[in-house]
């Protein structure tokens, strides 16, 4: 299992490095349309994964799309973990009315069908929305709506720490609430925070992919894994063109790698 | 009775606040005022103005929401702007389709999860454990929309796709719960005394871990509701999920709000039922 995890880490590093170096290693810009060639062309020396129906180099789009998904999903995860820490950890630490209020808010967010909400708000964007705005709004919404489950876990963790002997001793020796929070509670919650952060990344990658396939993800011409997967709608016409499945393969491999690394984080958190 | 009243009050409160939050999110989305119908070059300025005036009532979020709740109490949910039909009628037509899809999907998912979880716990074969973990893990890594597409091209029912998604999310929790129960001292004693596996499962394992199993099952209802959107939209199933997708593409606020309300009610009911049944299990156990 350790070997598999190392392999997953290496794979993640390669994918992240490849996507970050897209500007240098991609043969073309993601939006450049090669009009002198047939659209939907097969792999060639110039276009390793062929071209899409607008004549854009598919390999370049995969690289840039990976960059968008792999940079913004962790950013959204960071936002949701921050919100979860703010609400959940504070609730667990302070207890009382604040805890009741925070847990009621968590219940509220857990009860809301967040894919419906996401669909709603994403659909309310103007038709001529810029690709940058669409990508920002999509991932910002993911971050803003996805904190509730993590908040519950963090609240339970903070509560345990609050009731632990060393915190009682610290309190008895006159350590202030803020100092206690930042010096004793938060550092001990680090493994849980890290695990929640890791858990959120694949969830957000998959959510963006689902939205993208439904046509409500990142706006064209900016690629993301979700928008690249829209090509799968014509899967019946693929007739052996398996290179079109590369974005899907990459997504599944990356999410699997995250899950494998995650199992280690989970063990650490436990 | 007191517990039931408390749960109902909580449910109503969450529903009201949740509905208001949903309406607020939509109202303040950047493109709320944009309507592609107004871009139709055949429409005169007066017609465009009339359409804008008709939409003006939705600008004041508090008024819009109060009106919506008031009419909802009278069983009226307004008209769908895009489909030009009463929302009540649309929901009435499509709700049974979604309920059937989700019901079948949940049944398939729970059954698969239970079979695999029980067999993995009883067999205790490393290879089988790796296989089941790999299978559920792989399904967790595939976007639900892609899984739905695969089923479309294979001409297979969408409910099976939904069932596989539920299985992927439920299996690991159930297996872990059962493994924990199997390691309990009284179960080890029962096994040492030669009780049959079925007897141990039915009379000793399920009564102990039944509450927790049900809690996970309750959570999977909301998961199935979310997964119903891509499944229905891509498999062409005329249910609530497809309606939500169409409403989202058509910026149909009253329809979207009603659907969010409806799905929130179902989610809350599922959670409440699993919580109540789970607590009764725990009470029995105590």
Q: Which residues of A touch B30 (CB under 8 A)?
A: 124-126, 129, 133, 137
CB atoms within 10 A of CB B225: 23
The answer to whether B148 and B230 have CB atoms below 8 angstroms apart is yes
A206 interfacial to chain B (CB closer than 8 Å) = yes
> Quick check: B146 and A259 CB within 8 A?
no
pLDDT tens figures, B112-158: 999 999 999 888 888 998 899 889 999 999 999 999 988 888 888 99
By the CB < 8 Å criterion, does A255 face chain B? yes
User: A267 — contact with chain B (CB < 8 Å)?
Assistant: no
A119, B229: Cβ pair inside 8 Å? yes
pLDDT at position B175: 92
B9: pLDDT strictly greater than 90: no
Cβ of A209 and B143 within 8 Å? yes
Question: What pLDDT shows up at residue B39?
Answer: 67
Of residues A232 and B109, more confidently modeled: B109
Q: Among A117, A124, A210, select the one facing B260 at the smallest CB separation.
A: A117
B223 CB neighbours in chain A (<8 A) are none
Q: CB A111 to CB B268 under 8 A?
A: yes
Lowest pLDDT segment from A209-223, A246-260, B43-57: B43-57
The answer to whether residue A267 scores a pLDDT higher than 60 is no
Percent of chain B's residues with pLDDT above 90: 24
Closest partner CB to A113 (pick from B140, B267, B271) = B267
Predicted confidence band of residue A134 (pLDDT cuts 50, 70, 90):
confident
Residue A214 is nearest to which of B14, B137, B245, comparing CB atoms? B245
Is the pLDDT at A268 greater than 70? The verdict is: no
A91 within 8 A of A155, measured Cβ to Cβ: yes
d(CA A196, CA A154): 9
The pLDDT of residue B285 is 63
Q: What is the pLDDT of residue B101?
A: 94
- A251–B143: do the CB atoms touch at under 8 Å? yes
Query: Over 80: is that where the pLDDT of B108 sits?
Result: yes
Q: Does the beta carbon of A183 lie under 8 angstroms from any beta carbon of chain B?
A: no
- Is the Cβ pair B245, A119 closer than 8 Å? yes
Chain mean pLDDT for chain A: 86
Q: Is pLDDT above 70 for B86? A: yes
Q: What is the pLDDT of residues B197-232, one digit of tens each?
A: 888 888 888 888 888 888 888 888 888 988 888 899
pLDDT of B48 > 80? The answer is no
Say if the Cβ atoms of B138 and A124 lie within 8 Å.
no
Mean pLDDT of A95-122: 79
Interchain CB distance below 8 Å, B249 and A107: no
Q: Do A142 and A204 touch, CB atoms closer than 8 A? A: yes
Looking at the complex, report in whole angstroms how far the Cα of residue B27 sits from the nearest Cα belonging to chain A. 9
Mean pLDDT of B45-58: 72
A interface mutation test: which of B145, B242, B245, B251 has the most A CBs within 10 A? B145
Give A108's contacts in chain B (Cβ within 8 Å). 14, 17-18, 21
User: Do the Cβ atoms of B222 and A107 come within 8 Å?
Assistant: no
A142/B contact by beta carbon, under 8 A: no
Task: Quote the pLDDT of residue A270.
Answer: 44
- A9-50 residue pLDDT tens: 999 999 999 999 999 999 999 998 987 777 888 888 888 998
Query: Mean pLDDT throughout A247-261?
Result: 91
Q: What is the pLDDT of residues A53-65, one digit of tens each?
A: 888 999 999 999 9
Q: Do B29 and A125 touch (CB under 8 A)?
A: yes
What is the C-alpha separation between B185 and B276, in angstroms, rounded?
28
Which chain A residues touch B235 with a CB distance below 8 Å? none
Share of chain A above pLDDT 70, in %: 93
The reply to whether residue B146 touches residue A213, judged by beta carbons under 8 angstroms, is yes
ipTM here? 0.85
Residue B137: closest C-alpha in chain A: A256
Query: What integer pLDDT is reported at residue B104 of this predicted model?
Result: 95
Which residues in chain B have Cβ-Cβ distances shorter than 8 Å to A236? 153
Q: Tell me the average pLDDT across B13-36.
A: 71
Distance from CA of A113 to the nearest CA of B (A): 6
Query: Which of A12-26, B32-46, B99-113 is least confident?
Result: B32-46
Interface contact A73, partner B, CB < 8 A: no
Higher pLDDT, B37 or B206: B206
Evaluate if residue A7 carries a pLDDT over 50. yes
Give this prediction's pTM: 0.85
Q: Considering only B35-39, B85-89, B143-147, which range has the smallest mean pLDDT?
A: B35-39
pLDDT tens for A199-233 read 899 999 999 998 888 888 888 889 999 899 988 87
The whole-chain average pLDDT of chain B stands at 83
Task: Write the CA distances from B45 to A4, A127, B38, B48, integer angstroms.
Answer: 65, 20, 9, 5
């Amino acid at each position: 299992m350790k070997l598999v995890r190392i392999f997953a880490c290496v794979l993640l590093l390669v994918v992240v490095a490849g996507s970050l170096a897209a500007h240098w290693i991609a043969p073309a810009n993601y939006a450049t349309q090669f009009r002198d060639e047939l659209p939907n062309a097969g792999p060639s020396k110039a276009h390793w994964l062929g071209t899409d129906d607008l004549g854009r180099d598919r390999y370049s789009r995969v690289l840039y799309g990976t960059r968008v998904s792999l940079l913004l999903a962790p950013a959204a995860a960071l936002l949701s973990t921050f919100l979860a820490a703010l609400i959940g950890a504070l609730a667990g630490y302070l207890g009382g009315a604040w805890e009741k209020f925070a847990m009621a808010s968590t219940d509220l967010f857990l009860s809301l069908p967040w894919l419906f909400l996401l669909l709603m708000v994403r659909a309310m964007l103007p038709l001529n929305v810029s690709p940058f705005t669409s990508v920002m709004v999509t991932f910002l919404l993911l971050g803003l709506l996805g904190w509730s489950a993590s908040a519950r876990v963090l609240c339970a963790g903070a509560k345990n720490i609050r009731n632990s002997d060393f915190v009682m001793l610290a309190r008895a020796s006159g350590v202030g609430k803020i100092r206690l929070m930042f010096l004793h509670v938060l550092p001990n919650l680090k493994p849980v925070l890290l695990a929640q952060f890791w858990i959120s990344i694949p969830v957000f990658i998959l959510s963006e992919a689902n939205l993208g396939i439904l046509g409500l993800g990142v706006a064209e011409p900016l690629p993301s894994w979700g928008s690249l997967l829209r090509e799968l709608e014509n899967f019946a016409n693929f007739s052996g063109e398996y290179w079109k499945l590369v974005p899907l393969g990459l997504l599944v491999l990356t999410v699997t790698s995250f899950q494998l690394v995650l199992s280690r984080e989970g063990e650490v958190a436990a | 009775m007191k517990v039931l009243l408390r749960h109902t009050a909580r449910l109503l409160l969450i529903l009201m606040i949740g509905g208001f939050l949903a309406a607020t999110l939509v109202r303040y989305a950047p493109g709320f005022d944009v309507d592609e119908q107004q871009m139709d070059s055949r429409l005169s300025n007066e017609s465009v103005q009339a359409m804008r005036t008709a939409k003006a009532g939705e600008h004041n979020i508090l008024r819009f929401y109060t009106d919506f709740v008031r009419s909802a109490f009278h069983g009226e949910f307004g008209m769908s702007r895009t489909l030009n039909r009463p929302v009540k009628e649309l929901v009435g037509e499509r709700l049974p389709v979604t309920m059937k899809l989700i019901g079948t999907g949940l049944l398939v998912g729970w059954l698969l999860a239970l079979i695999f979880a029980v067999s993995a716990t009883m067999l205790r074969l490393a290879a089988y454990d790796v296989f089941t973990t790999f299978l559920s893990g792989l399904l967790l890594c595939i976007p639900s929309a892609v899984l739905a597409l695969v089923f479309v091209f294979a001409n297979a029912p969408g409910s099976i796709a939904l069932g596989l998604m539920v299985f992927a999310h439920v299996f690991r929790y159930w297996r872990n719960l059962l493994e924990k129960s199997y390691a309990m001292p009284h179960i080890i004693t029962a096994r040492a005394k030669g009780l049959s596996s079925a007897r141990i499962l039915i009379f000793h394992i399920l009564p102990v871990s039944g509450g927790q199993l049900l809690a996970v099952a309750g959570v999977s209802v909301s998961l199935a509701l979310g997964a119903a959107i891509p499944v229905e939209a891509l498999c062409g199933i005329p249910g609530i999920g497809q309606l939500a997708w169409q409403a989202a593409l058509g910026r149909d606020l009253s329809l979207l709000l009603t659907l969010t309300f409806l799905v929130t009610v179902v989610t809350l009911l599922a959670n409440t039922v699993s919580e109540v049944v789970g607590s009764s299990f725990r009470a029995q156990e105590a």
